[in-house]
Amino acid sequence: MIDTISDENNSFLSRRELICDFKALGGKLKKLEAVEMITKEFKLDGKIVIPIKLQNHTGQPKITGTFYIYDDEKLAKEHVNPVIFTRLEKAKNGGKEKQDTEPTKADAPADKKDAEPTKADAPADKKDAEPTKADAPADKKDAEPTKDKGESK
């Protein structure tokens, strides 16, 4: 089910770089599931396995995955983009953080007095409001369409 394409030890970055093919899982494999499968297959308990890329192949039911395996979590956080860790945490929590941070209707202000003023809250009297173009008297010159200077009757 898992075929190893490349398994290299990168001594410069103190990590193991693993590239594998997952057969018969095209379009169905999630990153966390792939990490679990790699951890079990290669006996990587206690190590930090980071899924970098899962690539589907068109017309084939296989996925190629790239993983970085670190011994130290601190070193992993220095080398790998922090966005990847954020996405992994989000996937582990199942989107619970997003639901907690979204404001609900109960959090919204109940009265218009509490809310910020909007254009609908503008004063109704024309005296209080600033004059606009629509309030200005229309001249006949502005009301009539202009004729092109080249045309004549």
123 within a domain of the structure (yes/no) = no
Structural domains in the chain (count): 1
Q: Is the residue at 105 inside a domain?
A: no
Domain presence at residue 54: yes
Alpha helix (H) ranges present in 11-72?
Answer: 31-42
Query: 91 Cβ partners below 8 Å, 6+ apart?
Result: 30, 31, 32
| Angstrom distance (rounded) from CA 34 to CA 18 | 12
Quick check: is 67 in a domain? yes
CB neighbours of residue 92 within 10 Å: 9
Quick check: 26 and 39 in contact, CB under 8 A?
no
Residue with tokens 């970085």: 68
- Give me the average pLDDT of each 10-residue run along the chain (153 residues): 94 96 91 94 94 94 96 94 93 71 56 56 57 60 59 56
pLDDT score recorded for residue 142:
55
pLDDT given at position 110: 55
Range of the domain at 54: 2-98
How much is the pLDDT for 1? 84
Instruction: Give pLDDT, residue 94.
Output: 83
What does pTM read for this prediction?
A: 0.61
Structural domain contains residue 133: no
Is 127 a member of any domain? Answer: no
> What's the pLDDT at 26?
87
From CA 67, how far away is CA 57, in angstroms rounded? 17
Token pair 């410069």 in the structure block, residue: 12
Cβ(2)–Cβ(21) under 8 Å? yes
Binning the chain into helix, strand and coil, the percentages to the nearest 5 are: 30, 25, 50
